[in-house]
Amino acid sequence: MIEQKLIKKIQDKSAIIGIVGLGYVGLPLALRFAETGFNVIGFDIDSDKIKALEVGRSYIKHIPSERIESAVTEKTLAVTTDFVRAKEADVLIICVPTPLNKHREPDLSFVLKTTESLAPHLREGQVVSLESTTYPGTTDEEIKPIIERSGLIVGKDIFLVYSPEREDPGNPKFYTEKIPKVCGGVTKNCLNVGMALYGQVIEKVVPVSSTRAAEMTKLLENIYRAVNIGLVNELKIVADRMGIDIWEVINAAATKPFGFTSFYPGPGLGGHCIPIDPFYLTWKAREYGLHTRFIELSGEVNTAMPEWVVSKVMNSLNNAGKPLQGSRVLVLGIAYKKNVDDTRESPSVELMSILKNKGAIVTYSDPYVPQFPRMRKYSFDLDSVELTPEVLQQADCVLIATNHDDFDYEMIKAHANLIVDTRGVYREPADHIVRA
């Protein structure tokens, strides 16, 4: 039986694992399989990534080069841009982006193009797993038909599962094998293969009844965060107007041992999941004649936060007798969250763009992002500046947008003329510190 043969290959680790997309999700997963005794082929269309991996160099801050170098040297990890090699793999795990288009609708082009590229090389006895976040129905409505065009029958000849990624870059407590993995299959046989696959490298695998349930699970996780962050961002504005410290309030509320989970405000939402994923469900819900008002309202609140922060910068400069136009604003941190180098959907970058458009002279400092990256929406010809007393004194305003642990906050406080703090770094009030 094809299913049992494949499960046996997975269990004895003779199965070859193919990981398609070697970014923040795919690379740690590839290394996890390689380090547990599997032979792994990593696929990516970015030749620069492939060249870096071939010489054992990491391009992701929290993944040490030593892990890659070890896997490449021991020949448990091979990398390529050639999708023809997909036929060598018994397992193909798709970890590619699922952004929104300019109309804030799902852009499945990466997923569909990847599946189309793999399709000619699929064969009997393989399992395909989609990990990219998407709307319920994608796996069986979009991926399954592409696979079955070749004549292979999903659930009999080839197996198809959806298992959403749950990576939290930079989190030392939770890494790939420690984060429980949800898995849903198109058929029961598919689920059996998926459970066997992820059970080899993840400590706990959670089965659900279908790929749609697994897709919905991932969206629920991210919508839960987006809505609660939207709530606390709105409360931050109310508390600010009332002269109340929202961080003090949250910490006090967190002492309740039941019925409360702490969420913290910021300058907006960032990262590859939370600002994007809720709108996948919003879009799909319209097919059923439903309007997801709660999700869309939280999106509006979170999207408006950078403008609110900029207004705080303008008012703070005005109080110091300076207009925003022509003022030197030093942005601290352009990654979307602290202690990572990921700038995707970062509210810090949106802040830089708004400030520049209003005439400010914008610079930034981020130890994790030494040079402003290539981005589709933003363009700054800037390098990170080193934080020194002189650099701080030259800035009219220091805007804390991402609270990296590497920043010397005491030095910043001692030498900055004006600090606008969007992350609650400074708890004690001071004349030159403004919370935003």
User: Which distant-in-sequence residues (6+ apart) come within 8 Å of 353 by Cβ?
Assistant: 378
**Where do the H-state alpha helices sit in 171-292?**
188-199, 211-242, 246-253, 278-286
Check: CB of residue 189 under 8 Å from CB of residue 155: yes
- Catalytic site residue 273? yes
Q: Please report, for residues 20, 39, 169, the alpha-carbon distance to residue 42 in angstroms, rounded to integers and kept in the order given.
A: 6, 10, 20
Nearest of 67, 33, 38 to residue 53 by alpha carbon: 67
CA 407 to each of CA 148, 332, 387, 412: distance values in angstroms, whole numbers, following the listed order: 53, 9, 8, 8
Rounded to 10 degrees, the C-alpha dihedral 234/236/237/241 comes to: 140
**β-pair type (39-43, 77-80):** parallel
Distance CA 188, CA 15 (A): 21
Residues in the chain: 436
Q: Count CB neighbours of 124 within 10 A.
A: 14
Residues 403-425 as b/e (b if ≥16 CB within 10 A, e otherwise) read bbeebebeebbebbbbbbbbbbb
Residue carrying structure tokens 């010809």: 381
On whether the CB atoms of residues 159 and 211 are closer than 8 A, the answer is: no
Residue 272 phi/psi, 5-degree rounding, is -90, -5
d(C-alpha 233, C-alpha 253), whole Å: 16
Exactly one of 95, 183, 273, 397 is catalytic; name it.
273
Determine the residue type at 79.
Answer: V
Catalytic residue numbers read 273
